[in-house]
Amino acid sequence: MSVPAFRHVVVEGPIGAGKTSLARRLAETWDGELLLEAPGDNPFLPLFYKDMRRYALPTQLSFLFQRAEQLRSLAQPGLFTPLTVSDFLLDKDPLFARLNLDDAEYGLYRTVFDKLAPESPPPDLVIYLQAPLSSLVERVRRRGVAYEQGMDADYLGRLAEGYSRFFHQYDAAPVLIVNSAKLNFVDDDEAFGMLLNRIGQMRGPREFFSRG
């Protein structure tokens, strides 16, 4: 499988959609750099799932600082910059903030975001993974991250709806919308090959891929 002429590919989707697993396999297949968000480095995240209202702002700001720093290398591409595959899109960061912060906190967050976000070019492709809420809940339960196990299904549902609204309006980069409900890109080589072929066939700014 030939390597696409991309510099930066993003895999996105709500918690449990499978974005990190797919990003890993794409980077390995294309011999690219892998850029992953690091929730384990956010000291507020476990506290957030225990008391969302109290810890939403420090959790959000901690992720913002982390993601902005990770993307600085992409803001100044070199002549031989390798393909990078990441599992987060900084433009989507305010989605979580708007969902979890009150108006005053969100105003503070936006001020920090606007000053901190690096002026990097948009990705060459965003792969947006969708899945029914029942699938997301089951995947979160199955992967067994301790602090996620108390996550309310209603919160996960609102998050998935937020993603849907965001990508309905997003036009900064081409988007391949993938219904991942019946697709296992880690263990199913056929499904992964189908996705690679679909990526290679993309011609429009917004296309869809699913398995019936």
Q: Report pTM.
A: 0.93
| 174 assigned to some structural domain | yes
| 59 assigned to some structural domain | yes
Residue 143: the pLDDT is 84
Which residues contact residue 144 at a Cβ distance below 8 angstroms, ignoring those fewer than 6 apart? none
Task: Give the domain CATH number at 78.
Answer: 3.40.50.300
Instruction: For residue 97, give the nearest of 118, 116, 113 by alpha carbon.
Output: 113
Residue range of the domain that includes 115: 8-209
Residue 145: the pLDDT is 82
pLDDT, one tens digit for every residue, the chain (212 residues):
566 788 899 999 999 999 999 999 999 999 999 999 999 999 999 999 999 999 999 999 999 999 998 888 776 665 556 899 999 999 999 999 999 999 999 999 999 999 998 887 889 999 999 999 999 999 998 888 888 887 889 999 999 999 999 999 999 999 999 998 888 898 899 999 999 999 999 888 999 998 76
- Sequence length of the chain is 212
Q: For the chain, how many structural domains are there in total?
A: 1
Residue 82: the pLDDT is 80
Which amino acid appears at position 105 of this protein?
E
| 2 assigned to some structural domain | no
Residue 107: the pLDDT is 97
Secondary structure (3-state) at 170: coil
CA distance 211 to 181: 8
| 3 assigned to some structural domain | no
Query: Largest alpha-carbon pair distance within the chain?
Result: 50
Residue 152: the pLDDT is 86
Q: At CA 94, angle to CA 147 and CA 126, rounded to 5?
A: 90
Which residues contact residue 120 at a Cβ distance below 8 angstroms, ignoring those fewer than 6 apart? 71, 72, 74, 75
| 19 assigned to some structural domain | yes
| 79 assigned to some structural domain | yes
CA distance 71 to 27: 16
